[in-house]
Amino acid sequence: MNYFSTDFRLGILGGGQLGKMLLYDTRKFDIATNVLDPSKDAPAQYGAHQFFQGDLMDFETVYRFGKTVDVLTIEIENVNLDALDKLEEEGLKVFPSPKTLRLIQNKGNQKDFYTTHNIPTAPYKRFKDIESLIQAAKANEVNLPFVWKSAQFGYDGNGVKVVRSIADLDTLPNVECIAEVMVPFKNELAVIVARSANGEIKTYPVVEMEFHPEANQVEYVICPARIDATVADKARAIALQVSEKFNHVGLLAVEMFQTQDDEVLVNEVAPRPHNSGHYSIEASYTSQFEQHVRAILGLPLGNTDSKVAGIMVNLVGAEGYTGQVFYEGMEEILAIDGVTPHIYGKRETRPFRKMGHVTIVNSDMTEARKIAQQVKETIKVISK
């Protein structure tokens, strides 16, 4: 099929920052796009050829949207899967498939999937609601401290909490959840795997993630990870194993823990472009977003190597500020060599809301990390 400068339509469910950045590359290739998002202020509304406002969890809304496009993809997992099933049955190409999304959308099912397929992961227990977990904790059936995760609708910084006492459970929502053993790890790692509709598969280099201790959000993504080559090889091999078992098409971001004895455990996956791959826009031969487009359209996959060391700094709303956003220090960071900010198009800031990211590229990783620290300390996301 000829995708370029034709009437072909690619549909994207979700119009957040990932959708916006995906549109950089559909625009580059002149591939026409339709985007569906619940917010009239969605960041991707301006880059799409047609923007539709609607509920991603509503069957009719998603089904009708699917009927306007030739291939359908996602930038968020929380979408109506029954609608995707029907669209797929009627012949629409949906990537990743609803079958893959069903395995991933619920974190309890995701963890069970790893266990079933002998993929290394931290021990866990599933609970139908918070009351069941409280009873289990009081009966010493789960050991404190542990990591609580909402089974559905959680994302980076939301739906995850370290529980150090039974009293901590009182603040959590009464939803299906898992209690996961806290893993004493050296590093949090991630590998993005690209799998095309034609079966071609490639992995990006292993990245290392540094997290904010309170918000449980990634502060820095460092590529390549500062780890031993044998650990990197193991991480890439496990990511390929996970990709093979999920049989996804498109991108799969595999987040992992490197334990104190250099074992690699899978934490969770995301079947789409991911925060851990943003560095690739500036640092890689092929950005994760271009790669996703190539993969879902069955085009040859691009080179996943890095041209240069890359570090990404997340820009999140500063504590104590809510309202019309103002980026303090923007001119100062733009004056530094190798620094590129990406602003997501969200007018309103609030504490810890993801508002953008900054990529630092440098031939020297140590220097790149120093500049990343300087950027982090210089730019502030506040309100005016």
Give the type of residue at 90. Answer: E
**Is 267 part of any known ligand binding site?**
yes
**Is 75 part of any known ligand binding site?**
no
Contact 114, 238 (CB under 8 A): no
Q: What is the DSSP string of 330-355?
A: HHHHHTSTTEEEEE----EE-TT-EE
**Is 314 part of any known ligand binding site?**
no
CB within 8 A of 125, min separation 6: which ones? 136, 141, 142, 178, 179
Burial of residue 374 (number of CB atoms within 10 Å: 0-12, 13-18, 19+): middle
Question: Strand pairing partners for 202?
Answer: 194
Peptide bond into 96 cis (omega under 30): yes
The conformational region for residue 102 under phi > 0 = left, psi -120 to 50 = alpha, else beta, is alpha
Q: How far apart are CA 229 and CA 101, in angstroms?
A: 32
**Is 149 part of any known ligand binding site?**
yes
Pick the closest to residue 13 from 44, 33, 35, 43 (CA basis). 35
Q: How far apart are CA 96 and CA 5, in angstroms?
A: 24
**Is 69 part of any known ligand binding site?**
no
**Is 180 part of any known ligand binding site?**
yes
Contact 235, 216 (CB under 8 A): no
**Is 182 part of any known ligand binding site?**
yes
Q: Is 370 helix (H, G, I), strand (E, B) or coil?
A: helix
Q: Is 321 helix (H, G, I), strand (E, B) or coil?
A: coil
**Is 40 part of any known ligand binding site?**
no
Contact 265, 259 (CB under 8 A): yes
Q: Is 148 helix (H, G, I), strand (E, B) or coil?
A: strand
- Where is the binding site, in residues? 107, 149, 180-183, 188, 267-268
- Where is the binding site for ATP, in residues? 107, 149, 180-183, 188, 267-268
